[in-house]
Chain A
Amino acid sequence: MSKPFVSVELLSQRFPDGKGGRMTVFENASFGIEKGEFVVILGHSGCGKSTIMNILAGLAQPTSGVVTMDGTEISGPSLDRGVVFQNYSLLPWLTALGNVRFGVRARHPDWSRAKVDEVSTEYLSMVGLSAEAIHRKPSQLSGGMRQRVSIARAFANHPKLLLLDEPFGALDALTRGTIQDELLKIWGGTNQTVFMITHDIDEAILLADRILLMTNGPFARVAESVQITIPRPRTRTDIVDHPNYYPIRNHLVQFLGKRSKELAGQASGGAAQSPDRVRIDLTAPPAPAPAHLRAIAE
């Protein structure tokens, strides 16, 4: 079995607990992400999801363990890993266009100004920003619009891995739905590998190929890897009618409600903590997976 595109190996993070000891957030976490895969990580606050995200982004250093992408070890931030932060992280003194331009120019320092403008405008219109709205400052845009700009900035750079840190966490439910649809639409046209954090179970099922479930901290671990056996393209109204939707949803709710607590606080004893693979599929067993389901080689 070859190594997955992104490989997280024996990753541990410990922080001083303020009393002279050390608090283990997670220990020996090990999992992989395949090229083109959309992986969502679900878990309660404080389980270390964001820490894993920051390590993948190269913004934080793990206490031990390595993350490799495309065969090379991640040792710092890189344009190959685009990040969309929960709080948008747009530069408030630049317009929406200026913010996307900032990213494109960093990626392609040799491009002419006209070319940078053209590409930036193209990606902004792709996320639904009008020609008038792109000249506004972030403070003059709604939360949903800001997050669209942030997504456009990330996609315009064609990162090898796109990291989404609770991108819709600060948005109201209706806006969230629209942007999820838009994200699906943009993502569908690319072969973009995505790793995303969320708290929202329905959002996870709608977007993900695979959901990683994390137990509570301390000593949190990625306990399960749940394959979403609902064919694409998906829409929020259609997936709820799919026979697999509620069994998967129930499984996730049960995990977050009960088992995430029961499994918490267990030291790994040095062993690699790989998630158990879970596949729930009520549609015509033992039919082979439909062709448009992405193959997952683990």
Chain B
Amino acid sequence: MSVWSENSRAALLSVLILALALLAWELAIPAQHLATEMTEYERLMGGGSARAGIPAPSQVAVKAWEQLSNPFYDAGPNDKGIGIQIAYSLGRVLTGYGMAALIAIPLGFLIGMSPVAYKALNPFIQVLRPISPLAWMPLALFIIQDSEASAIFVIFICSIWPMLLNTAFGVSGVRADWVNVARTHELGSLRTALTVILPAAAPTIITGMRISIGIAWLVIVAAEMLVGGTGIGYYVWNEWNNLDLSSVIFSILLIGIVGMLLDSVFAVLQRRLTYAE
């Protein structure tokens, strides 16, 4: 019988796996020769080893410490702190996502309430939904003529569909009994929508919002690689051009962590709004 709870055993195992993986990675990177020990040719070829460019975890950790200890410095267009880059990305994601939510949730409500509207709009949604958001980029750049706004538009277009469909699905699936409760209590349509249909559909709507924020965070990296200038996606690409792989690996990790945080905000909301029947 273990004295440890299931959670603490799982946490211990996680730490163990991480430690082993980092150790294996560290050992797999051949020791770097000091530049002074190498010939001119070896130095030009990247240290004489094919894998010399891949940094060890210790090097990534050093880089991470360096970046995180001063995240908001701004030394010109090509040298900004990681905090500033993340802030740019989050700003774009939240702007595009917010606009999408403002349109998708009310529109999804109407579509969900009216079977005719649902059937009429469904073909458009089904065609537009599978389009890769980046495919809109040239058109967006041409029409909007502004790279910043185009990136936001791409976020908008990719996050609108899950929210729209989930809202419509959630609203149309509200149990007739609950609507009848509202009817027998003589509630007007606005109060019915706000006090019965919205809370009844809330878990489904939040699921849609959670899917959307995930997609938006995936897409922003690619979009920023294309439009350039600022943002975490641009940062990754810029560091690749600088052949600074420690920074690339560090920013990949950071993208994952920010995405996890965004998702967990919606997980909390979802838990709060979900009800058991």
Interface residues of A, Cβ cutoff 8 Å to B: 57-59, 76-79, 81-83, 85, 87, 89, 91-93, 102-103, 106-107, 137, 139, 157
Contact = CB atoms under 8 A, between A and B. Distances in A.
A201 to B, nearest CB: 27
B260 to A, nearest CB: 28
Nearest to A93: B275
A93 B200 contact: yes
A92 B277 contact: yes
Nearest to B203: A93
A77 B183 contact: yes
Interface string B172-185: 00000110110111
A77 B185 CA distance: 8
Contacts of A57: 184
A92 B181 contact: no
Contacts of B199: 91, 93
A79 B187 CA distance: 10
Nearest to B191: A106
B184 A87 contact: no
B185 A89 contact: no
B184 A83 contact: yes
B126 interface: no
Nearest to B175: A89
A81 B185 CA distance: 9
B178 A91 contact: yes
Given A92-B277, A102-B185, A59 B195 contact: no
B275 A92 contact: yes
Contacts of B196: 91
Contacts of B200: 91, 93
B275 A59 contact: no
Contacts of B273: 93
Contact of B185 (A85, A103, A137): A103
Interface string B194-235: 011001101000000000000000000000000000000000
| Interface majority SS (helix, strand, loop, mixed), chain A | loop
A146 to B, nearest CB: 11
Contact of B276 (A77, A89, A92): A92
A204 to B, nearest CB: 24
A81 B275 contact: no
A139 B275 contact: yes
Return the 4 tightest CB-CB contacts between A and B, nearest first: A139-B276, A106-B185, A93-B275, A77-B183
21 contacts: A58-B184, A59-B180, A76-B183, A77-B180, A78-B184, A79-B185, A83-B180, A83-B184, A85-B177, A89-B177, A89-B178, A89-B180, A92-B275, A93-B199, A93-B202, A93-B275, A102-B185, A103-B185, A106-B185, A137-B275, A139-B275
A77 B180 CA distance: 9
A102 B195 contact: yes
B40 interface: no
Nearest to A157: B185
A1 to B, nearest CB: 31
B66 interface: no
B37 interface: no
Contacts of B202: 93
Interface string B157-179: 00000000000000000000110
B183 A59 contact: yes
B181 A91 contact: yes
A82 B184 contact: yes
A74 to B, nearest CB: 12
A284 B235 CA distance: 100
B186 interface: yes
Given A89-B178, A89-B181, A137 B186 contact: no
B274 to A, nearest CB: 9
Contact of A77 (B178, B184, B195, B275): B184
A106 B186 contact: yes
A93 B199 CA distance: 7
A83 B202 CA distance: 26
Contacts of B276: 92, 137, 139
